[in-house]
Structure 1
């Protein structure tokens, strides 16, 4: 009956569950987690239920050189570049399609060449050149520094990626798929 069905629904608004993913753009396990678990869950549930926060940095290192942040990434310079692209403009908060673009890039066979095609599909109004200019500029480096601070201040400290927090509590480790 109608009354029985209403019991299943919560009439009051409920805040979405926050899932934070600390990752590296080229690391196989975070790429798998994003494309197999997180993105499909978010796509099914939406922003009203699942608030996804993506924090690309992972096992990178940073240092301040002449007032500018420089980064060294576990999987090389390309990973640093992809992390910077993902931190600057494609954060889900910046655009409704941001999570979809990042998933598109991370699930691509060649993530380094996927940005333009992923943008055309999910956020065609954003220009690749604008993203690259911002990502490699001062603001992008400052935002990556913020990700470094969030990552380096995790408690307990992360020991691998993906490092997953659900409502600020560390989630069960994701099995590393190869």
Structure 2
């Protein structure tokens, strides 16, 4: 009987363990169940019939039990409870994650993408500039290579440098000899030899410069109209820098220079230049100053001017007679460089 009671106690303990595991989260303490004490009942004077009745009831409880099956069921139940416990723990963790309790959530930024998108145009500009710089560097490199090749190909060869002759024409606008020289000698010779000539036109002639009370005036050989014409020519040579145009306009004006301002406007505009700048020069102190400078140049000539026009070649007045007759021939003869094709 005692052995039967012990077995019942073990079964009850197993059941309690199962209940304890199942309700571990809901209960903080376990109830205490004391097994019945049969010896106590006997000591209190229970009747033999009652004792027999109790023994019969206990014999019913002592029905045979399959211990292996009971252990297997207990193990299965415990395993199930463990799985369910794990599930509850995972759910609690998920709740904590959602609530942000004890979990450090690192925000996922799109800084790089936003930066790339925001700076897309700037990036394209940088790439474009870089490409242009590379192309420019490439072109510069190719240019240097070509220059080196040209230099290498020309190494050892003599480069022909054409010397030039400095020509100065001292004339006056209403002088017939000046007119003939400019139209018949200077213009044709310049057209043939302009690549070796530097021409300076000095329209002053045999005039005189007068200064009184700070005012400058001129006394010209052929009268005031010639002085006016000289100033027009002087302004043309000062403002228009192209020698070919200078000579062409002077050629045009000196053909009919009786009305310097009228013919001057016509000839200047004919050759594509603006008359306003020339006219402003003529009517201002600038024209007077330029013509005075032309006079200073003329008076400095050595020997002094005795005939107009006077022509100098590299500062020399030598051979004036032949110059007036065939200027081109004299230039070819006195040229120090290689023979010119037109000579």
TM-score norm. by structure 1 comes to: 0.82
Give 2:267's aligned residue.
118
Q: Say what the alpha-carbon RMSD is for the aligned residues.
A: 2.2
Q: C-alpha distance in 1, partners of 2:182/2:239? A: 13
Give 1:107's aligned residue.
255
Give 1:148's aligned residue.
295
**Higher RCO, 1 vs 2 (CA within 8 Å, ≥6 residues apart):** 1
Query: Is the contact made by 1:21 and 1:55 (CA closer than 8 Å) also made in structure 2?
Result: yes
Q: Which sits farther off after the overlay, 129-138 or 140-149?
A: 129-138
Q: CA deviation at 1:109?
A: 7.1
Give 1:173's aligned residue.
320
Counterpart of 1:90 in 2: which secondary structure? helix
Q: CA deviation at 1:88?
A: 1.5
Q: CA deviation at 1:12?
A: 2.3
Query: Is the contact made by 1:91 and 1:98 (CA closer than 8 Å) also made in structure 2?
Result: no
**Is the alpha carbon distance of 1:83 and 1:19 closer, same or farther for their aligned partners in structure 2, counting shifts above 3 Å?**
same
Confirm whether residue 161 of structure 1 aligns to residue 161 of structure 2.
no
Tell me the number of residue pairs that the alignment of Structure 1 and Structure 2 aligns. 164
Query: Is the contact made by 2:170 and 2:204 (CA closer than 8 Å) also made in structure 1?
Result: yes
Note the residue ranges of structure 1 that are not aligned, 5 or more in a row: 1-9
Which structure's residues are more often strand, by fraction? 1
Q: 2:226 aligns with which of 52, 65, 79?
A: 79
Q: C-alpha distance in 1, partners of 2:305/2:239? A: 23
Q: C-alpha distance in 1, partners of 2:228/2:160? A: 43
Confirm whether residue 65 of structure 1 aligns to residue 197 of structure 2.
no
Matches within 5 A, 1:2-81: 11-46=159-194, 48-81=195-228
**Is the alpha carbon distance of 1:94 and 1:104 closer, same or farther for their aligned partners in structure 2, counting shifts above 3 Å?**
same
Q: C-alpha distance in 1, partners of 2:171/2:230? A: 9
Q: CA deviation at 1:93?
A: 6.0
Q: CA deviation at 1:91?
A: 4.4
Question: Who wins on radius of gyration, i.e. which is larger?
Answer: 2
Q: C-alpha distance in 1, partners of 2:168/2:300? A: 14
Counterpart of 1:169 in 2: which secondary structure? coil
Note the residue ranges of structure 2 that are not aligned, 5 or more in a row: 1-157, 326-343
